[in-house]
Structure 1
Amino acid sequence: MAMKVNLTQALKQFFGFSQFKGDQERIIQNLLDGNDTFVLMPTGGGKSLCYQLPSLLMEGTAIVISPLIALMKNQVDAISMMSEEGTAHYLNSSLNKAAIDQVKADIRSGKTKLLYVAPESLTKEDNVNFLKKTKISFYAIDEAHCISEWGHDFRPEYRRIRPIINQIGEAPIIALTATATDKVRTDIKKNLGMSDATEFKSSFNRPNLYYEVRNKTKDVDKEIIKFIKQHPGKSGIIYCLSRKKVEELAEILRANDIKAQAYHAGLESALRSQTQDDFLMEKTDVIVATIAFGMGIDKPDVRFVIHYDIPKSLEGYYQETGRAGRDGGEGVCIAFYSKKDLQKLDKFMEGKPVAEQDIGRQLLQETAAYAETSVCRRKMLLHYFGEIYPKDNCQNCDNCLHPKTKIEAQEQLVILLNTVITIKENFRSDYVIDFITGKETEEILAHKHQNNELFGAGEDMDEKLWNPVIRQALIAGFIKKDVENYGLLKITAAGKKFLKKPESFMIVEDKDFDEDYENASEHDGTMTALDPTLSIMLKDLRKKVAKKMERPPYVIFQDVSIEQMATDYPITLEELKNIQGVGEGKVKQPYAKEFVDLIAKYCKENDITRQADLRVRTVAKKSMLKVKIIQAIDRQVALDDIANAQGLDFSELLDEVEAIVYSGTRLNIDYFLDEVMDEDHIDDIYDYFAESDTDSLDAAIDELGSECSEDEIRLVRIKFISEMAN
């Protein structure tokens, strides 16, 4: 039954807008005409209006199925401000019986036009029986990707929506999602029984968003604090994968005078609602959250989204970054990536059903490809969602602003395409690479592919090239991944054409995410760089002080401390305390003042603008651990017993003890050394450090390793530093 109304007039009357965005008007008209409708629209594109406006115009109550209680409350509040009380309601586990009775009374009276329900509430027998007697105008399934195991947020209860709709009564369905690959789209329509639905797909390109991936180093907390301090008062969201990390990071940010709050599913619902309201009302600048935060939150001016941990899928990443810059203004999206995090996520999958593990690993591979690539990030993201980005340089991602030199890979592409054909288009990229590089893996031997004449065709070429060749051949359209049989590489018509007449194929190599890489991102305009002139001056002063005190230079300050001084320019003893490896004990040394005086003079003479306000304070938890260790050593508790009591392994305990003595606190561990080590060994190691010009553990192991273990060397080094430096 078609329904004709002046939609622009209705939009103005109910929402105060004078024109629709993108496809909104066509989507709404399609629903008013009684047709099933599938909407694929990026975050910030105005999805909710597509079901809110028609619900106010049609007869009966529209049911909106949504996974998030926070989103329901947010949207019901917004509609209540525009219309009378009771026009919109929600039905979920947060309501008591009296509230539920009120909701049902408003629906019965015909007052309620829009009812938000969680899928779990929809399946309750009471609710099904009640809704059977209600005139339903249409069903809206929001966050529809939750139906698919290939979506980034699969929820089994979403699979039960169609049977429940059949019980309640037929009405048009509108399914909406902000992210869906071809596979997910097919899944949604099939599961909801709406394969004939009219489909509306908006562009996924968000030109105002800047994308960057940084190497995740041990200084990641510090990088984040510096970034936020350089964007004062701006709203941002930081996503972490674990609740524990969310709590820890929020605490660290608050310790550094940043208005931050934690948000995750483990908090009481009243606190979660309050946190969300504080963010919307700008009492809080930064929310540190697990992925549950932000879905459907209508805050247009989120200026940055930081991923502390790389997400489990590109769909999740796209949706979370999509919460930045919804007003079309600036939106900075930074993700921290390390291969260790990826291995951790992979490990989490063990024990899950095989099919689920398989899907999870495929999604992780896509995320890794995005993080490691040097190709335009926008091009890569849009390609993942089946959209072609025509430009080679978007001018708004780290890879485009700092492009790598392209190299010729025509020969590699020919080998790749021939391999895909030879192995009958029946394998994934990791198998293809093993085949090309001549690796006799179990799988290859099982398929007897080691006897194929093409096997090992690329074994003399740089192994690091094959991943970027595959990734960029996918973007260029020479190969594709099979949607139904996810991950299998197939050759396209363009690929066959290329083989007949090969031409130049220029690629960029992937980024090398070296685990030991300690510096900030080379593209990071927000980080200050080491001042080499000051570094030399500080090292000269250290040498002078060391000579006077008859101590090795590293005993005065470690290299890492000198480098940080030449980066952060501390000019008071208070500021010096924030330098890595410097604590109360070091600051009390008479020479400490000489260092800050030298830096102050240098800053004045060279007119240097310092970023002293960017000092990073650690939180008390770590300090408390150090206090407990110091107290236990004072009581002469054996070090291995201290480690057990604090839940640390022995090596981790030594890390903590080293940090304590290097920062200037004197500890006497002779009682433990006398128990576990031979006196001659202790003397040999002690003499080595007294004569060495470095405290490097590797150098000491090279020199002493045949007679002493690493732990023994570390223990005596602690004794030496404690006695000589403190």
Structure 2
Amino acid sequence: METTTQLHKFELLKTHFGYDKFLPNQEEIINNVLDQKDTIAIMPTGGGKSLCFQLPALALKGTAIVISPLIALMKDQVDALKANGISAAFFNSSQPSEEQQEVLKNLQNGKLKLLYVAPESLPQLNFILNSIEISLFAVDEAHCISSWGHDFRPAYTQLKRLKEQFPSVPLIALTATADRPTREDIAAQLAIPNAKTFIASFDRPNLYLDVRPGQNRNKQILNFLAKRGKQSGIIYCLSRKSTEKLAATLKSKGYVAEAYHAGLTSEERSTIQDNFVNDRTPIIVATIAFGMGIDKSNVRWVIHYNMPKNIEGYYQEIGRSGRDGLASHTILFYSFADVVMLRKFAEGTETEAYQLAKLERMQQFAEALSCRRKALLGYFGEHITEDCGNCDICKTPPKYFDGTLIAQKVCSAVARLREQEALGMVLDVLRGSQNAQVYDKGYQNIKTFGAAKDISWRNLQQYVIQLLNQGVLQIYFHENGRLLLTPLAKKVLYEGKKVRLANIVQDVETVKTEKASKKRADLFEKLRTLRSKLATELGVPAYIVFSDAALEDMEHKKPRTREEFAEVSGVGEAKLEKYADDFLRIINRYLDNLESNLATHERSYKLFIEEKFSPAEIAIRRGLSEDTVYGHFLKMHQLGNEIDLVQFISSEEIQKVKNAQKKLENPDGLKPYFEYFESEVPYWKIKMGLYL
């Protein structure tokens, strides 16, 4: 049976967070924490991880201690909690000592429901933690504790002491990405071997997954951005130099963009991040360090300029877009040169074999010729049976052709080059390139020189990659990436084995993101302008006031009263009190202006079709008779608008009116009909019956 605390959770959800229902897995995780049990929660970015400890913190007595790795993340979450009327604070090295003392005083006096702290600062709180009531410990970004995780952070290893020091306080560890070895390591390192593990779906259906060949990346990016207006987005590059070059290119084309990398001072990085969070700089070109501490919900796209070194990193980075649940676009540029470079980074490290295995899986994802989402979710052990319909492969499925002749030419070139050359040289020879390297080695004299000159370099490269995936060729990365023939290649060359290759698809845009990128309705822009103004006055990021998803819900529901505004997703009691009047003023003014430009029959029609009001409700709202409202519907139908009049009058009633017309021999006006029916059939029905 549910406890009172658990029944109370729905009230807390609506009152403080403004939601009517939980996201998948949230309720089960919250119940486990409320039952004072240790928990490991693996949930995708945007899946609502924070609520899993924030709501129990409100329901339970005492203060929740949240261990978070980044100062920016703490500040954002504390700002968001305060905006929802929840007492929260953070404690870290960036604060002046007076501010730290104020936080510690409030902690000791039991005035805080949540305290965020960096793992490095936790020992400083030891003397207070023993003297206060702690509701729970939450370890955010828990993969940082594991050497198997992709962001290992040594300071996290001291967290094992929490369970030794406070054995009866429930502990919840949360992360967006953790494979099985990482999950097991988290449980061991935090000393919670009996923790219940919840793995939410890794599917983010609103993200369009797009993988493109790496040629002409800058041109492709500029074409992509041309359709994106002022949308916020992140471009990830592997090197500092690349971030600066690309940011400079974008600026030269009129875009507001900044480079972000470890070579900048902490003040510079903080300013750039602050400008991005507050929508002043919509585009950030960054190394992978950027974004981990940003809770910005309206990032509409993420581009990987280079291939990431593993799927966990890729998944976490694309997860920084579309956290509000709205359609977002992700692009991964893939080239063989990136694979070679990433392999070099991994070689000679302590975990070389592990890193190379992860890189290989990343490469397989990039080269896939079937649904991307199936491949991505399959990596995390989640298997879907249907194609997703929201990736480049599903949008434009590959068409196959008989590629046996191309395969034979490629295999022949590899053989004649004695299996000593890497992909680039093989392509140059096949295309008959007249460059110095080819001529220095005398390769212009071999039989296959120029054998594939009718195929573009880009397409030929993709065909060779397909042959590698099909096992016709193999690559020795540790020997300068030279290509070799496999036993299957010998069957292609000498036994007439057929090879199917996929046509190379040219760049396409998705319908979904195109729709999303169309010019916003006037009302949304007006709401967004108001949100920016309020956020500036309060000194917080715009999404702390309301997310894009909340603004879209306002645009859709068009509330006119405080009661209707309370039904908007993301409006809790604190935000209702703080913002309802300002936003309702904008919405009501917009709707009044809209209606004043419409003819009276158009206004009635709009309320019926768009707002779903009944004719009786329209009459009350507009101060008209129902007879007039039905007359408006008839007029709109006569003007060619789509409205089914048969829903208002039955075929029997129409026949009655037609019979009366014959008996009365085409009388003048409607009054004779009204008298004929002894006032029992209203005028509008007579008018409609005569028309139909």
Q: Does the Cα contact within 8 Å between 2:257 and 2:282 map onto a contact in 1?
A: yes
Secondary structure in 2 aligned to 1:214? strand
Q: Does the Cα contact within 8 Å between 1:398 and 1:523 map onto a contact in 2?
A: no
Give the Cα–Cα distance (whole angstroms) in 2 for the partners of residues 119 and 5 of structure 1: 33
Identify which of 207, 210, 219 aligns with 1:209: 207
| Counterpart for residue 254 of structure 1 | 251
| Counterpart for residue 342 of structure 2 | 345
Structure 2 matches for 1:146-225, cutoff 5 A? 146-167=144-165, 170-217=168-215, 219-225=216-222
| Counterpart for residue 374 of structure 2 | 379
Structure 2 matches for 1:48-447, cutoff 5 A? 48-83=50-85, 87-122=87-122, 124=123, 126-167=124-165, 170-217=168-215, 219-295=216-292, 297-353=294-350, 356-391=351-386, 393-405=387-399
- Rate the CA distance shift 1:398–1:358 in 2: closer, same or farther, 3 A: same
Secondary structure in 2 aligned to 1:134? coil
In the TM superposition, what is the alpha-carbon distance from 1:270 to its structure 2 partner? 4.1
In the TM superposition, what is the alpha-carbon distance from 1:110 to its structure 2 partner? 0.6
In the TM superposition, what is the alpha-carbon distance from 1:266 to its structure 2 partner? 4.1
Greater RCO structure (CA 8 Å; 6+ sep)? 2
- Rate the CA distance shift 1:165–1:118 in 2: closer, same or farther, 3 A: farther
| Counterpart for residue 487 of structure 1 | none
| Structure 1 residues 674-700: Cα deviation after superposition (integer angstroms, max 9, x where no partner) | xxxxxxxxxxxxxxxxxxxxxxxxxxx
Give the Cα–Cα distance (whole angstroms) in 2 for the partners of residues 402 and 97 of structure 1: 58
Give the Cα–Cα distance (whole angstroms) in 1 for the partners of residues 47 and 323 of structure 2: 8
- Rate the CA distance shift 1:213–1:343 in 2: closer, same or farther, 3 A: same
Normalized against structure 1, the TM-score is what?
Answer: 0.55
5+ residue gaps, structure 2, are 403-467, 479-484, 511-692
Q: Does the Cα contact within 8 Å between 2:400 and 2:502 map onto a contact in 1?
A: no
In the TM superposition, what is the alpha-carbon distance from 1:65 to its structure 2 partner? 1.4
- Rate the CA distance shift 1:509–1:195 in 2: closer, same or farther, 3 A: farther
Q: Does the Cα contact within 8 Å between 1:374 and 1:511 map onto a contact in 2?
A: no
Give the Cα–Cα distance (whole angstroms) in 2 for the partners of residues 127 and 507 of structure 1: 66
Letter in 2 for 1:522: Q
Q: Does the Cα contact within 8 Å between 1:346 and 1:361 map onto a contact in 2?
A: yes
Q: Does the Cα contact within 8 Å between 1:28 and 1:50 map onto a contact in 2?
A: yes
Give the Cα–Cα distance (whole angstroms) in 1 for the partners of residues 499 and 175 of structure 2: 33
Q: How many residues are matched?
A: 433
Give the Cα–Cα distance (whole angstroms) in 2 for the partners of residues 397 and 214 of structure 1: 11
Give the Cα–Cα distance (whole angstroms) in 1 for the partners of residues 214 and 114 of structure 2: 45
Q: Does the Cα contact within 8 Å between 1:374 and 1:509 map onto a contact in 2?
A: no
Give the Cα–Cα distance (whole angstroms) in 2 for the partners of residues 165 and 510 of structure 1: 55
Q: Share of identical aligned residues, percent?
A: 46
In the TM superposition, what is the alpha-carbon distance from 1:370 to its structure 2 partner? 0.8
- Rate the CA distance shift 1:259–1:200 in 2: closer, same or farther, 3 A: same
In the TM superposition, what is the alpha-carbon distance from 1:283 to its structure 2 partner? 1.7
Letter in 2 for 1:380: A
Give the Cα–Cα distance (whole angstroms) in 1 for the partners of residues 166 and 491 of structure 2: 62
Who wins on radius of gyration, i.e. which is larger? Answer: 2
| Counterpart for residue 460 of structure 1 | 490
Q: Does the Cα contact within 8 Å between 1:38 and 1:197 map onto a contact in 2?
A: yes
5+ residue gaps, structure 1, are 409-432, 444-454, 464-505, 513-520, 527-726
| Structure 1 residues 613-634: Cα deviation after superposition (integer angstroms, max 9, x where no partner) | xxxxxxxxxxxxxxxxxxxxxx
- Rate the CA distance shift 1:99–1:243 in 2: closer, same or farther, 3 A: farther
| Counterpart for residue 29 of structure 1 | 31
| Structure 1 residues 610-657: Cα deviation after superposition (integer angstroms, max 9, x where no partner) | xxxxxxxxxxxxxxxxxxxxxxxxxxxxxxxxxxxxxxxxxxxxxxxx
Normalized against structure 2, the TM-score is what?
Answer: 0.58
| Counterpart for residue 570 of structure 2 | none
Give the Cα–Cα distance (whole angstroms) in 1 for the partners of residues 94 and 491 of structure 2: 60
Give the Cα–Cα distance (whole angstroms) in 2 for the partners of residues 365 and 510 of structure 1: 21
| Structure 1 residues 121-159: Cα deviation after superposition (integer angstroms, max 9, x where no partner) | 22x4x3333333333211111111222333222223323
Give the Cα–Cα distance (whole angstroms) in 2 for the partners of residues 98 and 57 of structure 1: 30
- Rate the CA distance shift 1:507–1:174 in 2: closer, same or farther, 3 A: farther
In the TM superposition, what is the alpha-carbon distance from 1:456 to its structure 2 partner? 7.7
Give the Cα–Cα distance (whole angstroms) in 1 for the partners of residues 185 and 502 of structure 2: 32
